[in-house]
Amino acid sequence: MNEDKRLAAMIDAATEATKSAKNTADLLAIVGKFVDYKGKLRFEYKADWQAIQVFTVLAIVALAANYLGPWAILTWLAEAWGFTPSTCAWIIAGPSILFVTGTLSYIARGRHLLPELSRALALRSSRFANGLGEIGTSPEQLLVRLQQSFRDYARGNHRRQIQLALKGTFKGPLHTLTYHYVDLEYVDRHTQTYTETNSKGETVTRSRNVYDQYRRYSLVVDFPWVQGIAVRSDKQTKIDLDHTYETTSSAFNSTLTLSGTSAMACARFAKPVTVLHLLSMTARLRNPNLEFAADGAGLCLSFDDNNLIDFEMPGDLSNPGAFYKAIEAGIDLPALTTLLEAIHVLAEQHDDNFESPTPTAIQREN
Amino acid sequence: MDLPVIIGISVAVLGLLAVISYYNAIIGGHNRAQRAWADVLTYERQKSKVLDGLQPHVSHYQDYEHNLMSEITRLRSAIAELPSAANGTSLVAAESATRSLLNGLRVAVEAYPDLKASEVLGNFMREITEQQENVGAAIVIFNGEVERFNNSIQMLPGSMVNDMLNRKAPIAPFTDAEASGSFNYTPNL
């Protein structure tokens, strides 16, 4: 087996192993194979490059023989095959060009195999390092459950669907927060009227359905300290509760709408530290909404930012030693961590200092 | 009716509406600053209630008792002297007394290992620190509202409306002389 085939086989095996990896140790075992690999960690494609050269020359010669001649060889082939010289030239050049194009795209694809595998490994590492895992239920069931507690999910009059849902745990200094990360796709349908001129030259008014597709991202956090409060910065007025409340901060009131099940609940929630904290969170996120479910289902923090679980690639498998260390240390999700820290601050502001630091969903579910 | 008369009446009505709007904005700004000040007072007094719970826990530690008790008394009287009308300058004494008390508490906690280990005292420390954070945040909000209000009565045309009708004086924001004293830099305000 030549070097390229050996490397390709190892990448294929590693790609499959990455899909079924259950923890960081599994990922390290995969990367370890690349660390121990004796050959070069890049494809050479020697035979492919030689074939490309041969077929490129063949195509050029065949076309030159036709357009600069026809040369004698082409005339001879035309007589032998019973076609015109031009057809004979294309019979040779056509497949040659196809072969060259196909081989070049094969090489280009091969060049991406190692970076793609590295990215898949880093993605899995980011999930393991941050305690993110698959949810236990189907996305449809999860959506139904979320819609019962949070009106922020009542988006899209045509269709709504969870594209990605992960569950995780964040260990803060005082509290352990269990959460779901939800990526919701929703589609709004509206009718648009327009005018056009028909074949008789008359202007007619017609209507058509227009579908606008959106994404909304959210963290649903187990948050037993506040209930029946909504803080809104976008146009999702459905989350507003019975009593709207103006805080003492004009900056807050001009950016956010605070409402609650009672004026007292709003007043208790709108502590000065919370008002300033929410203002700073709003500055960091695009169109954030906070919905503290009245039924105790927790906090739904939704926003338009799509980079919450993005990470920076710590190099790739072309430098397997450094990549091994990065996977061993775990890939950070800085945006997610920052946001969970901000939620933890909110928890500290609203917990009871005279009760032991606690409740996690896991503990309560058990 | 002649066109110049219609234009004149329209301008007069618009002018009157503008004056009413500025007048109301000044009143609204003053009320918001007053409400923000009320928040500061509320959290200062909330802090004073936490002291009631804290006092019995530190009273057993004789060496520090006298000092801490006098700090608590000083803070209580500073809070009691806070005026109901918005005035940031009057906060200086209460904030200084809070700082002294928290420093005194930390010294006492370090000196007595069993005091340090006390969960109840830890909770009280957390609570008083949280209340102090709320006071700090309330002051930030208050200063923001004071700035908005002062701008509304000092900038044209609000200043003209204020001079003629509202006659409100600018509110003093809270400034921490002790903190600013520790900087070498003084802005040329």
Task: For residue A291, name the pLDDT band (cuts at 50, 70, 90).
Answer: very high
Express each pLDDT in B75-91 by its tens digit: 777 777 777 776 767 77
> Helices B3-58 & B119-154, crossing angle to 10 degrees?
160
Express each pLDDT in A51-73 by its tens digit: 999 999 989 888 888 887 777 77
Higher-confidence residue of B49 and B157: namely: B157
pLDDT, residue A356, reads 57
B43 vs A250, A272, A275: nearest CB: A272
CB–CB contact B141 A276 (8 Å): yes
Whether the CB-CB separation of B50 and B75 falls below 8 Å is answered with: no
pLDDT, residue A279, reads 93
B137 vs A273, A348, A353: nearest CB: A273
Helix H or strand E encompassing A169: strand A159-171
Answer yes or no: is pLDDT of B142 > 50.
yes
Helix H or strand E encompassing A196: strand A176-197
pLDDT, residue A363, reads 41
How far is A74 from A246, CA to CA, in rounded Å? 88
The average pLDDT across A132-146 equals: 90
How far is A36 from A196, CA to CA, in rounded Å? 68
CB–CB contact A272 B39 (8 Å): yes
Provide the 10 A C-beta neighbour count for residue B169: 10
CB–CB contact A248 B133 (8 Å): no
CB–CB contact A353 B123 (8 Å): yes
Contacts of A145 (CB under 8 A, 6+ apart): A137
Answer yes or no: is pLDDT of A22 > 80.
yes
Task: For residue A122, name the pLDDT band (cuts at 50, 70, 90).
Answer: very high
Answer yes or no: is pLDDT of B63 > 70.
no
A248 vs B39, B124, B136: nearest CB: B39
The average pLDDT across A257-283 equals: 92
Per the confidence metrics, is the pTM higher than 0.95?
A: no
Answer yes or no: is pLDDT of A358 > 70.
no
Mean pLDDT estimate for chain B: 78
Phi/psi zone of residue A166: left (φ > 0), alpha (ψ -120 to 50 degrees), beta? beta
Q: Percentage of chain A with pLDDT > 90?
A: 51
- Tell me if chain B has a CB within 8 Å of the CB of A273: yes
CB–CB contact A248 B141 (8 Å): yes
CB–CB contact B145 A249 (8 Å): yes
Task: For residue B182, name the pLDDT band (cuts at 50, 70, 90).
Answer: low
Domain residue spans in chain B? 3-170
- Tell me if chain B has a CB within 8 Å of the CB of A271: yes
pLDDT, residue A181, reads 95
- Tell me if chain A has a CB within 8 Å of the CB of B50: no
How large is the ipTM? Answer: 0.72
CB–CB contact A248 B127 (8 Å): no
pLDDT, residue A79, reads 81
On chain B, the residues whose CB falls within 8 A of the CB of A275 are 137, 141
Closest by CA to B32, choosing from A229, A32, A10, A253, is A253
Whether the CB-CB separation of A243 and A260 falls below 8 Å is answered with: yes
Which residue carries 């259950």 as its tokens?
A: A22
Task: For residue A361, name the pLDDT band (cuts at 50, 70, 90).
Answer: very low
Answer yes or no: is pLDDT of B2 > 90.
no
Whether the CB-CB separation of A232 and A240 falls below 8 Å is answered with: yes
Provide the 10 A C-beta neighbour count for residue B26: 21
Strand order from edge to edge, sheet including A133-134? A133-134, A159-171, A176-197, A203-221, A299-303, A289-292, A229-232, A257-260, A243-245
- Tell me if chain B has a CB within 8 Å of the CB of A174: no
pLDDT, residue B100, reads 75
Answer yes or no: is pLDDT of A364 > 60.
no
How far is B157 from B160, CA to CA, in rounded Å? 5
Mean pLDDT estimate for chain A: 88
Higher-confidence residue of B79 and A327: namely: A327
Answer yes or no: is pLDDT of A331 > 70.
yes
